[in-house]
Amino acid sequence: MARITIDREQATLTAEFQGLDKLWTLKSSLEIPLAHVRGATHDPGIARGWMGLRFAGTHVPGVITAGHFRHDGEHLFWYVKNPDKAVVIQLADANTYDRLVIEVDDPRATVALIERSIPRD
């Protein structure tokens, strides 16, 4: 599971990966400027569909999807073992990813945290 934190002072969202999860995702963390976060949703169904083409990472169907994937022209970062806990974070103006699909401990609380933290015009 990833830990999502918001640093309001630095205006960043950070997803941290622990232990072997760093190996599967090929990353220890992702840091995204809050200005690039458009929103978040709890979406268990997304992890049950086709993830796209894997560029780097791990995919064992029904076990884990982790790393960089490309689907319908979008660059996605995946880290999901349990689809019921998947949160989708939509990004704009991002240099690397269009969406993050990340498993978290409490999807509803994570979505609420992200939604109340992103800047609104």
15 within 8 A of 3, measured Cβ to Cβ:
yes
Q: Is the pLDDT of residue 94 over 70?
A: no
What structural domains does the chain harbor? 3-117 (2.30.29)
Spatial CA neighbour of 59 closest among 20, 107, 25: 25
Give DSSP secondary structure letters for 28-77. SEEEEEGGGEEEEEE-GGGGGS---EEEEEEEETTTEEEEEEEETTEEEE
Rg, C-alpha atoms of the chain: 13
Task: Please give the model's pTM, rounded to 2 decimal places.
Answer: 0.90
The predicted-structure confidence for 50-59, as pLDDT tens digits, reads as follows 666 677 788 8
